[in-house]
Copies of this chain bind each other. A is one copy, B any other.
Amino acid sequence: MDGFFSLAIDNLGSPLILSFVLGTVAALARSDLSFPEAAAKAISVYLLFAIGFKGGVAIAPYGLDVNLFSALIAGVVLSAVVPFLAFGLLSVMTRLDRTNAAAVAAHYGSISIVTFVAGTSVLTSQGMSSEGYMVAVAAAMEAPAILSALWLISRNGSSRMDAGLWREILLNGSIVLLIGSFLIGLVTGEEGMREIEPFIGAPFKGVLCLFLLDMGLIAGRGIRNSRGVLTPGLFAFGLVMPVIGASLGLLAGSLIGLSPGGLFLLAVLSASASYIAVPAAMRVAVPEADPGIYLTLSLAITFPFNLTLGLPLYLMGASAISGGLS
Q: Assess whether B196 is in contact with A15, with CB atoms less than 8 Å apart.
A: yes
Q: Assess whether B38 is in contact with A188, with CB atoms less than 8 Å apart.
A: no
Q: Assess whether A171 is in contact with B30, with CB atoms less than 8 Å apart.
A: yes
A66 CB-CB contact with B under 8 Å = no
For residue A37, which residues in chain B have a CB less than 8 angstroms away from its CB?
36, 38
Give CA–CA (A209, B172) in the complex, Å: 20
Other-chain residue from B32, B38, B172, B173 in contact with A38 (beta carbon distance below 8 A)? B38
A162 CB-CB contact with B under 8 Å = no
> How often does this chain occur in the complex, in copies?
3
For residue A167, which residues in chain B have a CB less than 8 angstroms away from its CB?
29-30
Can you name 26 A-B pairs with beta carbons within 8 Å? A13-B188, A14-B188, A14-B192, A15-B53, A18-B184, A18-B187, A19-B181, A22-B177, A22-B181, A25-B180, A26-B173, A26-B176, A29-B171, A30-B171, A32-B172, A33-B176, A35-B41, A35-B42, A37-B38, A38-B39, A39-B41, A39-B42, A45-B213, A49-B213, A196-B209, A199-B207
Q: Assess whether B41 is in contact with A188, with CB atoms less than 8 Å apart.
A: no
A203 CB-CB contact with B under 8 Å = yes
Q: What 1/0 flags go to A280-302 for Cβ under 8 Å of B?
A: 00000000000000000000000
A210 CB-CB contact with B under 8 Å = yes
A235 CB-CB contact with B under 8 Å = no
Q: Assess whether B49 is in contact with A187, with CB atoms less than 8 Å apart.
A: no
- From residue A303, how far is it (CB to closest CB) to chain B in Å? 19
For residue A192, which residues in chain B have a CB less than 8 angstroms away from its CB?
14-15
For residue A199, which residues in chain B have a CB less than 8 angstroms away from its CB?
202-207, 209
Q: Assess whether A203 is in contact with B198, with CB atoms less than 8 Å apart.
A: yes
A159 CB-CB contact with B under 8 Å = no
Tell me the A9-34 residues at the B interface (CB within 8 Å): 13-15, 18-19, 22, 25-26, 29-34
Tell me the A167-223 residues at the B interface (CB within 8 Å): 167-168, 171-174, 176-177, 180-181, 183-184, 187-188, 192, 195-200, 202-207, 209-210, 213
Other-chain residue from B19, B34, B38, B172 in contact with A36 (beta carbon distance below 8 A)? B38
For residue A4, which residues in chain B have a CB less than 8 angstroms away from its CB?
none
Give CA–CA (A19, B53) in the complex, Å: 10
Closest chain B residue, CB of each to CB of A19: B184
A46 CB-CB contact with B under 8 Å = yes
